[in-house]
Structure 1
Amino acid sequence: MRSLCSCLASIWLAVAPGAARACDLALALAVDVSGSVDHQEYRLQMDGLAQALRDPVISEALVRARARLMLVQWTGASRQRITIPWTAMESFDDVDALADRVAADPRIWRNYSTAIGEALSHTMAAFGQVADCDRHLIDLSGDGISNEGAPPAGLHPALRMAGITVNALAIEASEPDLTAYFFENVITGEGAFVVTAADFRDYPARIRRKLMREVTRASAGLRP
């Protein structure tokens, strides 16, 4: 399957006009590493995310869109870090290399609070580096409500002004109403949505579904 996708994408890239090959999507992957996430749950997130990036349909869509991706680890106020900077997805080798980096990304923090507003603010600031991309998207996953720092809903006007959409994955391991909270306080922008994972074991399947929805939409308008 990957071989067929690689062949088709290579043919498309060879014949596509220059305008169609511009960056169509800048996608920031923001991963919760707060104190409620243990070692095994962290691994489920990072391995699940890496596996999703390797999905043939997702990887082909990323290459077609010439997407740029970055990874952010976030927890309490003043504790957010870009651990993988913006990386261009111009080939399947690029996607595989990024998936390897995600799977190997060491955890930065372990025992801090949940500051979703601070995570959004820190991530938003990095989009100035990818201003030439058509769509700007933050993909935030978490297992709890914001309990420190700026309220996430307070960032919505600035995010909308910057043209950044925020989607979310709610991991309802200990917060059964987290999906509703994310709908009301976290997501913003045209077509923004929340995907629900029942627990961390459900995360790999749900992040794959979420990325599929995000990146295939991004590449749908590109000419084959």
Structure 2
Amino acid sequence: MSGFNQGRRGIIRAAAGLLAAPALLPARRANAMEPVDVELVLAVDVSRSMDPEEQELQFNGYAKAFRDSRLAEGIANGAIGAIAVCFFTWSDWDMQNLLVPWTRIDGAAAAHRFADALDAAPRQAFLYTSISGAIDYASQLFGQGYEGTRQVVDISGDGINNSGRPLKAARAEALERGIVLNGLAVLDRTPLPPQFANLQPSLDDYYHDEVIGGPGSFLMVAEGFRAFEGAVRRKIIREIALNAPGPRIERAFA
């Protein structure tokens, strides 16, 4: 009789397990990562070297890039046909503001909504230039709902690292995690005073040697702020395309 009761209890436990199993499925779906072709973080410099006009040129450049039909076409040509993108500004080592959170873009309508969010985002300027802080912050943004075949950080700026921990350490840690670092160096054509002219390296050389890294990484150089719009459009189109052709350093002119 005891054997019968043990068998009966085993059947009851098995049945209870089958009944409970469906309740676990929604939790698994909720925690599932949505696949995309690339997770792209746009990191934009708003340090004091950026005056209001230059900052507006940056924001407008990104917004116009997402309204460009070629960008939507490039996304559609991906294996999945969708990307995830977010946008934050940075300056001091502890000053990063996520202005547009992770957004799935799978066509022109979604890309235009992202551009509208950029138009509506606040414009603020701060003091220093912490590229290392921007890389550290960007590295922590990945894995939030999306799983890309690539993880890319797009860092745009017009100055060298002068705040926070050493750039070399932040860069090395990001590369160890498999993150690709691309750069958009904006060359300010206003000449420096003679006493400062030779105190810092050429910005394009600095970004090439100290900032970018990872498989397929590249540097876009905007020759002045008026060239920024064309530079950012070309850069993002390259970033969303797998194995996109192009030189290690590419230059855009106004």
Secondary structure in structure 1 of the residue aligned to 2:100: strand
Which residue, 52, 55, 63 being the options, matches 2:68?
Answer: 55
Instruction: Tell me which of the two structures has the higher relative contact order, counting C-alpha pairs closer than 8 angstroms and 6 or more residues apart.
Output: 1
2:95 is aligned to: 79
Q: Equivalences for 1:77-116 in 2 at 5 Å?
A: 77-107=93-123, 109-116=124-131
CA-CA distance at 1:143 after TM superposition? 0.4
Q: Which residue of 2 aligns with 1:122?
A: 137
Q: Which residue of 1 aligns with 2:226?
A: 201
CA–CA distance in 1 between the matches of 2:223 and 2:244?
29
The C-alpha deviation readout for 1:69-101, integer Å capped at 9, x for no partner, is 000100011001211111011232111000111
Of the candidates 205, 216, 220, which is equivalent to residue 191 of structure 1? 216
TM-score, normalised via structure 2 length: 0.73
Work out which of the two has the higher radius of gyration on C-alpha atoms and give 1 or 2.
2
Task: Return the offset for 1:151.
Answer: 2.1
Which stretch of structure 1 is more off in the superposition, 154-163 or 205-214? 154-163
CA distance in 2, matches of 1:219, 1:82: 28
Could you tell me which amino acid in structure 2 is paired with residue 93 of structure 1? A
User: What secondary structure does 2:138 align onto?
Assistant: helix
The alpha carbon displacement at 1:129 in A equals 1.2
Gaps of 5+ in 2: 1-33, 191-199, 246-254
The answer to whether the 8 A contact 1:75-1:114 is kept is yes
User: CA 1:93 to 1:85, structure 2 compared with 1: closer, same or farther past 3 Å?
Assistant: same
Query: Is 1:66 aligned with 2:88?
Result: no
Aligned residue in 1 for 2:59: 46
Which amino acid is 1:22 matched to? P
TM-score by length of 1: 0.83
Query: Which shows bigger deviation, 201-210 or 147-156?
Result: 147-156
Letter in 2 for 1:49: Y
RMSD: 2.0
What is the deviation of 1:188? 1.2
Alignment CA distance shift 1:181-1:56 (3 Å)? same
Determine the structure 2 residue equivalent to 1:146.
161
Equivalent residue, structure 2, for 1:216: 241
Normalized per residue, the structure richer in helix is 1
Give the CA deviation at 1:157: 2.5
CA contact (8 A) 1:24 1:218 kept: no
Listed as ranges, the gaps of 5+ residues in structure 1 are 1-20
Deviation at residue 148 of structure 1 after TM alignment: 0.8
Moved more, 26-35 or 171-180: 171-180
Distance 1:127 1:83 in 2: 16
Whole-angstrom CA distance in 2 between matches of 1:75 and 1:218: 31
Deviation at 1:104, TM superposition (A): 2.0
Q: Runs ≥4 in structure 1, deviation > 4 angstroms?
A: none
